Structure 1
Amino acid sequence: MIGKMSHKLFNNILTIRSMTSICKSSRSAMTLALSNAYINGKWVPAEDGSTFPVKNPANGKLISEVADMTANETEAAVNHAAKAFKQWKDYTAFDRSKLLKKWYTIMTNNQEELAQILTAENGKTITEARGEIMYGTSFVEWFAEEAKRVYGDVLPSGFKSKRQLHLKQPVGVCGIITPWNFPNAMILRKVGAALAAGCTVVVKPAEDTPLSALATCHYAEQAGIPAGVLNVVTCSHKHAAEVGKVLCGNPKVSKISFTGSTETGKILMKQSVDTMKRVSMELGGNAAFIVFNSADVNAAVAGAVSSKFRGSGQTCISANRLLVQDQVYDEFCEKLTKAVEKFVVGDGLEDGTTHGPLINEKAVDKVDKHVKDAVEKGGKVLIGGERLAKGPAFYSPTVIRDINQEMAVCREETFGPLAPVIKFKEEKEALLIANSTRMGLAGYFYSQDIQQIWRVAEDLEVGMVGINESVLSAMNIAFGGIKESGLGREGSKYGIDEYLNIKYACFGGLH
């Protein structure tokens, strides 16, 4: 449903034309939402007027010029969030719930607008974009309900003169740093929980995809979320480090929540040490996808296609290594190749496209590097294995067999449309390979042996396991990893606890 105020804007996004002329001729709220940062309820340009370009990865065309904020504007956003927290924390849980539900309803009614923005800046197909909007907004609805279920405890006291209580209170201002691969869902999964708990937030979206974040602010404003509660600071790669340092170093920020690479997560944690911030980290993955001899091979192939190639392989829980037992290895490789042959790669807004571009040419370079390394070390390309002439951000969906542990693709997260298939003989061998990485976000396996299912589910060193299932994410599950894949959980009844402190209160002198 495209609103009257932004109809012209979205016609331009649909045709992938530059927004520059619109920004000069129209002052609609949504136009501002796609060009300026959102601080203290206002659409704010950079102090020096600087902007950075946001381009469509499918064709390289300009979508918008966005305010390029620095440390100064970030400090201001933190100050406004700190001031707003004093009022927001005192809203009743029921009042916060009502506002979040209204925000959810408005975004749901404008799903198509949000999806068009997402596809334009990220490149994923419009079908996947619509799915992400549904997924992202579901967290706002979920946490609107969880706001009313933040229960403390009255403890059985060992003293007649005392009453002992545990109270749960919001941690305060939260710095939210999000990636480009799910520019709507990663923000709403964090912000929904934070606002439900009574926290205020300063969000730094990825420089490649700031528009989705800004669009959610437009609808938050319509829903009546008070000024200063939700702030979005946009910036280019040039200023990303200084903005991050402010969020991590400012003592008014009580918590950092980050989704992204393990390398960056470690930097942010180090920067948060001096002020002893709470941190939640959803970091890199290197998911193993295991197919045992007892598996339904057709189901395993369908699962591999869904897990490996969703978003052109650019998901944190994407299958990175496909381990297939010897008796079904050839059959799996053949059927997976035939499935990939049916893919249609192109602009995500075009009818019939099943897979869009990667986020940028740098991402393509990494996939190409992994492919060449695998081939040099004995891998056999069954399909793909090359850049596509459609544009610099396109790479052909690829399947390579005869993969071994010496190849880079086994040690590093590819984050692209490359499915490397490894043969194994025994269950113990598969588990040894699967657990050989320092990453521990997600893992998958297909088996119809119930004893094996229990063994492998318990022995995989990951935070989430898909058993004969490749789609793990939902608003009601605890999303997160172990080892170097992160700290804390998002979504579920546990997700709101990441934004709450427990205060012990002891009432004495009662007798």
Structure 2
Amino acid sequence: MKLAIEEAAATGTDVQEHDHHGIRQVLRDLGIQDINAAYSTGLQWGGEANEQVSSISSPTDGKLIGKVRMATAHDYEQVVLQAQEAFKSWRLVPAPKRGEIVRQIGNKLRQYKEPLGKLVSYEMGKILQEGLGEVQEMIDICDFAVGLSRQLHGLTMHSERPAHRMYEQYHPLGVVGIISAFNFPVAVWSWNAMLAAVCGDVCIWKPSEKTPLVAVAVQHIIKDVLQENELPEGIFNLVVGDAEIGGLMAADERVPLVSATGSTRMGKKVGAVVGARLGKALLELGGNNAIVLTANADLDIAIRAVLFGAVGTAGQRCTTTRRLIIHDSIYDDVKQRLLAAYPKLPVGHPLQEGNLVGPLIDQDAVRGFTDALGRVQQEGGKLLTGGEVLSGTGYETGTYVQPALVEAENHYHTVQEETFAPILYLIRYSGDVQNAIELQNGVRQGLSSSIFSLNMRETEAFLAATGSDCGIANVNIGTSGAEIGGAFGGEKETGGGRESGSDAWKIYMRRQTNTINYSTQLPLAQGIKFDI
């Protein structure tokens, strides 16, 4: 049988006039057209006549990848109605059978891992290994969700009343809205969508307007599975649009849960709107993550973790290492090791083998990088190395920067903010580990944290109730690269949400407590007497 994705790509594309790194073939394999539709309800595409069209160019070389029509409020309404209708039947499918559909989606992602990973890299700018890793993360969460589909458990409780039984159960919630960010354009969607699917929910996905083509590609892949299983429209939906679509979703009482990933500023807006209607908001927002290096750290592994944490994805991860809190007894050693490593970091096209740092997503991100470096130096910070916007052959887009090292103090206003770029602040501490913990906790964000030490007392103090206040606290590994088995998320201005593993599935369901009386009497709780 000819795959739906092949049918979609049958006409090819003439937008991509170049073919650097095999991108033309990738677009064919993934069904990306010259101009792509504005929305999908799983099996059908719509909005093909919409006038507003967005051109998507790669930050790697500035070349046009493709265009996408932008959805209207009317399009969004059609998608919501279709999703509501699909929910009526999808929630009745037994959870293990829903898991079987997710299993097939995982297998289909395996089939398209190479082209999809390459498109993630090309459209977003992360190196190919990270692009492939992001698709692997999608595959892993599918595997997790398949097992979960047979473990959507509740508890039983003993009733204080004779001949009564109490238990709790979880039911599907309904339509789940997913607003994803450009830096992980497909993986974070899958964290939500695959868990929601096995829980019996249907999803509406609004991808970042900066990276919508990978979302279109994923929707083509899912379409194959839906067709092969003769499933209805509306289980997995996609709406490509700007902030207006996100605003409609946040305010929509028909969407009981909105999961939003992005900046703290965006999350506060979404959370306020969802909260005003007493909906659920799952917020994954900013991080100002620190690694603590104590006097007892193994610096050979610590430096490797710092480098990946600070420059991986060109500093555009929510878990990027932004602050390095170093004991003064090893400060000079760490500083010299980093000064030796940073100038050697290969910066360039992310699809070129050997490069470890790709471009920032756009010129706005570059301005954020240079502005932050200017501000922190005005506050007293010292730029040690890096900070340049690269130019010349291979850097014509102006989106490539040299990762920066800055000596700074934790209280600087610029250090207190999250700059979504590769700037690492070196911060000195003295005394015991509690002083480092106070610095680590002394920011408004609370996503990821890490300590490197071979001293058990120091590491246990970092993990104690008086230790790191972050949702993620690691020992002898970096701040980024979380596995899907653990719940992912943070505290304070990071939003408080949890996605992916552990019991994060519960937010996608509604909880119900049941009490059953199988006696001939009607005793009341708390011994209340109400005799007629």
TM-score bucket (shorter structure): over 0.9
Q: CA deviation at 1:421?
A: 0.7
In the aligned structure 2, how far is the partner of 1:161 from the partner of 1:118?
58
Give distance in 2, aligned partners of 1:358 and 1:256. Answer: 28
2:186 equivalent among 184, 187, 197: 184
What do residues 381-428 of structure 1 show as CA deviations (whole Å, max 9, x unaligned)?
332121111122111111123x12353431111111111111111233
Q: Measured at CA, do residues 249 and 135 of structure 1 come closer, stay the same or move farther in structure 2, by a change above 3 Å?
A: same
Counterpart code for 2:477: E
Letter in 1 for 2:36: S
Write the distance in 2 (CA, Å) between the matches of 1:288 and 1:349: 29
Residue of structure 2 in register with 1:300 after alignment:
302
Q: 1:137-286 alignment to 2 at 5 Å?
A: 137-224=139-226, 226-235=232-241, 239-240=242-243, 242-286=244-288
Q: Equivalent residues in 2 for 1:26-105 (5 A)? A: 30-31=31-32, 35-36=36-37, 37-45=39-47, 48-105=50-107
User: Tell me, what secondary structure is at the counterpart of 2:145?
Assistant: helix
1:32–1:199 CA distance, 2 compared to 1 (3 A): farther
Equivalent position SS for 1:257: strand
Q: Is the 8 A contact 1:13 1:63 kept in 2?
A: no
Seq. identity, %: 26
Q: CA deviation at 1:32?
A: 5.1
Per-residue deviation, 1:29: 7.6
Cα deviation digits, residues 36-83 of structure 1 (max 9, x gap): 221252122255332111110112221111120122211211111111
Cα–Cα, structure 1 residues 501 and 120, in superposed 2: closer, same or farther, change >3 Å?
same
Residue of structure 2 equivalent to 1:479 = 488
RMSD: 2.5
Give the structure with higher Rg (CA): 2
Secondary structure, counterpart of 1:222 in structure 2 = helix
Say which of 393, 407, 417 aligns to 2:422.
Answer: 417
Corresponding position of 2:375: 373
| Separation (CA, whole Å) in 1 of partners of 2:444 and 2:411 | 16
Match of 2:400 among 388, 391, 394: 394
Tell me the amino acid that sits aligned with residue 455 of structure 2: D
Structure 1 residue 445: Cα displacement: 1.3
Contact between 1:201 and 1:229, CA under 8 Å: does it hold in 2? yes
Matched, 1:496 2:518: no
- TM-score normalised by the chain length of structure 2: 0.89
- More off after superposition, 468-477 vs 318-327: 468-477
Structure-2 separation of matches of 1:264 and 1:377: 27
CA distance in 2, matches of 1:65, 1:206: 14
Change (3 A) 1:179 1:216: same
Counterpart for residue 354 of structure 1: 356
Mean Cα deviation higher: 438-447 or 160-169: 160-169
Letter in 1 for 2:472: M
Q: 2:477 aligns with which of 456, 469, 476?
A: 469
Tell me, yes or no, if the aligned pair for 1:52 and 1:68 is still in contact at 8 Å: yes
Secondary structure, aligned partner of 1:487 = coil
Relative to its length, the structure with more helix (as a share) is: 1
The Cα offsets for residues 352-388 of structure 1, whole Å up to 9 and x where unpaired, read as 2211000111111111112122333443333212111
Judged with a 3 Å threshold, the aligned counterparts in structure 2 of structure 1 residues 32 and 98 are, in CA distance, closer, same or farther, namely farther
Structure 1 distance, partners of 2:54, 2:102, is 31
Counterparts of 1:351 and 1:131, CA distance in 2: 15
Q: Which amino acid aligns with 1:398?
A: A
For residues 314 and 469 of structure 1, the distance between their equivalents in structure 2, rounded to whole angstroms, comes to 19
Distance 1:144 1:196 in 2: 7
Secondary structure of the residue that 2:324 maps to in structure 1? strand
The Cα offsets for residues 437-467 of structure 1, whole Å up to 9 and x where unpaired, read as 1111111111111111111222111110121
**Any unmatched runs of 5+ in structure 1?**
none
Q: Is the 8 A contact 2:383 2:406 kept in 1?
A: yes
Deviation, structure 1 residue 262: 1.2
Counterpart check, 1:407 vs 2:416: no
Aligned residues: 501
Q: Is the 8 A contact 2:369 2:419 kept in 1?
A: yes
Q: Is the 8 A contact 1:411 1:437 kept in 2?
A: yes
SS at match of 1:30: coil
Name the structure 2 match of 1:505: 514
Partner residue in 1 for 2:530: none
Report the alpha carbon displacement of residue 131 of structure 1 after superposing the two structures with TM: 1.1
Give the superposition deviation at 1:33. 10
2:523 aligns with none
Amino acid at match of 1:393: T
Letter in 2 for 1:425: S
**Distance in 1 separating the partners of 2:298 and 2:19:** 41
Report if the CA contact (8 A) 1:13-1:116 is conserved: no
The equivalent of 1:428 in structure 2 is 434
Task: Quote the offset at 1:136 in angstroms.
Answer: 2.2
What residue identity is the alignment partner of 1:486? G
CA contact (8 A) 1:101 1:144 kept: yes
Amino acid across the alignment from 1:99: I
